[in-house]
């Protein structure tokens, strides 16, 4: 697509009060932060439309402050019900607005109840566990990106979907480069964005070298949408797998995000689906967690993906991903617990304190990593600093 030199968004800061338990019974204040940042060609709503809806919600809450139940932290469906009941247009919240409100609500509640991180209660409710850190993959979208893979990432996502043979040759070159740099730790994730017919996708897969196949965790959305509905669409994945001898596994992304497919469709598919790519900025935090829990129950790896947001949203997504770990060590899947948050490298500056880039560290065997608890600390520090920078009178008007 066209270059996007600038991203704009809205930070939502919510302030809540809880009665103290000491003899004074003074209110204790907590603050949480979220981000609304619709991406053109990704979200249907514009930033102006999102801002208008955010203002309606915050103005309503300023007039009549709603009670925020701690059970919203469970991400078990109660968040959706609460938003529908307590927000103007609550049944029709724009995706970016829903996601931003959920972030801020979860953040303020986690601080109020004293949890270890935003996702701790949800993980327990869904019988999952929290990892202290997660992997982060890098993103290759342009030819020049191929020359910049010595910086640390062991898992690299590559956009394909043009000429099948040329794309395969490009991937084969990258796989040799990565293997020489990272050894057996190097992994590839390929994304066709529904660009190919079954025959074109088969040509691409058949043209991949053995090294590329060995390194490929999955091929995302390999074929174009079928006009005959979801069953026919997933059948084309099965046909592709058989045509290519099941050389690579597949991943679901926009077909689930756009509701072309449902979880029931995926459960009935015989295609080798290894991962479900989740986009909290579109699906919302609660629905993302629901999809992740379902995926793990079905032996599929959930992969959280960003959309060029600031470090505020990236921290929320990293914490969310860190709480999507299976409880049982018997979980077997070829896809690493590495998430699509590498868009931070495209940010010239960040509103997060410290910037998300400063939270990334390099592990000699696992590439880019980010610490979930440092992300939590950064969110706390950022919202507190933003509130302190405002005049007390103005800050007190925030809900």
Neighbours of 358 (CB within 10 A): 14
Could you read off the pLDDT of 254-311 as tens digits, one per residue?
A: 999 887 889 999 999 999 999 999 999 999 999 999 999 999 999 999 999 999 999 9
- Looking only at the bridges linking them, the beta strands covering 27-36 and 10-19 are antiparallel
Work out the average pLDDT over 87-92: 92
Alpha carbon of 42 to those of 38, 280, 341, 363: distances in Å?
7, 12, 16, 32
Could you read off the pLDDT of 318-349 as tens digits, one per residue?
A: 999 999 998 876 567 789 989 999 989 888 89
Treating both helix axes as pointing N-terminal to C-terminal, what angle do 95-113 and 311-322 enclose, rounded to 10 degrees? 70
In this structure, are residues 30 and 112 in contact, taking their beta carbons and an 8 Å threshold?
yes
Report the pLDDT value the prediction gives residue 392, as an integer from 0 to 100. 43
Could you read off the pLDDT of 123-153 as tens digits, one per residue?
A: 999 999 999 999 999 887 655 555 555 457 8
- Looking only at the bridges linking them, the beta strands covering 133-136 and 367-371 are antiparallel
- CA angle 323-328-333, nearest 5°? 80
Q: By C-alpha distance, which of 310, 373, 305 is closest to 339?
A: 305
In this structure, are residues 94 and 54 in contact, taking their beta carbons and an 8 Å threshold?
no
Rounded Cα distance, 113 and 315, in Å: 20
Could you read off the pLDDT of 42-53 as tens digits, one per residue?
A: 899 999 999 999
Work out the average pLDDT over 161-184: 93
Report the pLDDT value the prediction gives residue 141, as an integer from 0 to 100. 61
Treating both helix axes as pointing N-terminal to C-terminal, what angle do 95-113 and 78-86 enclose, rounded to 10 degrees? 110
- pLDDT-derived band at 396 (thresholds 50, 70, 90) equals very low
Residue 15 token pair: 């302030």
In this structure, are residues 294 and 265 in contact, taking their beta carbons and an 8 Å threshold?
no
Alpha carbon of 155 to those of 238, 292, 365: distances in Å?
26, 20, 11
Helix or strand (DSSP H, E) at 362: strand 360-363
Tokens 């020359």 sit on residue: 147
Report the pLDDT value the prediction gives residue 145, as an integer from 0 to 100. 55
Work out the average pLDDT over 148-171: 86
């Amino acid at each position: 697509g066209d270059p996007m030199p600038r991203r704009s968004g809205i930070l939502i800061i919510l302030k809540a009060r809880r009665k103290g338990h000491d003899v004074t019974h003074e209110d204790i204040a907590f603050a949480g932060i979220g981000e609304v940042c619709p991406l053109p060609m990704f979200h249907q709503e514009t930033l102006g439309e999102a801002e208008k809806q955010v203002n309606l919600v915050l103005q309503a809450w300023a007039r009549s402050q709603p009670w925020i139940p701690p059970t919203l932290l469970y991400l078990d469906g109660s968040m959706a019900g609460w938003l529908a009941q307590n927000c103007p247009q609550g049944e029709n919240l724009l995706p970016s607005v829903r996601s931003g409100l959920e972030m801020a609500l979860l953040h303020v509640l986690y601080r109020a109840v004293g949890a270890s991180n935003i996702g701790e209660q949800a993980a327990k409710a869904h019988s999952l566990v929290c990892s202290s850190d997660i992997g982060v993959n890098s993103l290759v979208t342009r030819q020049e990106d191929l020359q910049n893979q010595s910086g640390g990432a062991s898992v690299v996502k590559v956009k394909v979907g043009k000429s099948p043979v040329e794309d395969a040759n490009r991937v084969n070159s990258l796989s040799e480069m990565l293997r020489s740099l990272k050894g057996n730790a190097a992994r590839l994730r390929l994304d066709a964005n529904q660009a190919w017919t079954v025959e074109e996708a088969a040509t691409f897969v058949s043209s991949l070298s053995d090294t590329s196949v060995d390194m490929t965790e999955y091929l995302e959305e390999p074929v174009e949408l079928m006009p005959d509905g979801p069953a026919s669409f997933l059948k084309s994945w099965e046909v592709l797998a058989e045509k290519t001898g099941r050389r690579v596994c597949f991943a679901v992304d926009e077909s689930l995000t756009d509701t072309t497919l449902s979880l029931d469709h995926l459960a009935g598919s015989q295609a080798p689906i290894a991962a479900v790519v989740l986009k909290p900025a579109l699906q919302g935090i609660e629905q993302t967690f629901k999809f992740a829990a379902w995926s793990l129950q079905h032996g599929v790896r959930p992969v959280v993906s960003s959309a060029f947001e600031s470090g505020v949203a990236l921290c929320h997504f990293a914490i969310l991903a860190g709480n999507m770990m299976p409880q049982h060590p018997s979980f077997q899947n070829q896809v690493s617990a590495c998430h699509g948050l590498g868009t931070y490298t495209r940010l010239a500056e960040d509103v997060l304190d410290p910037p998300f880039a400063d939270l990334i560290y390099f592990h000699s065997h696992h590439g880019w990593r980010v610490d979930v608890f440092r992300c939590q600390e950064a969110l706390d520090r950022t919202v507190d600093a933003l509130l302190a920078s405002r005049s007390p009178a103005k800050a007190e008007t925030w809900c």
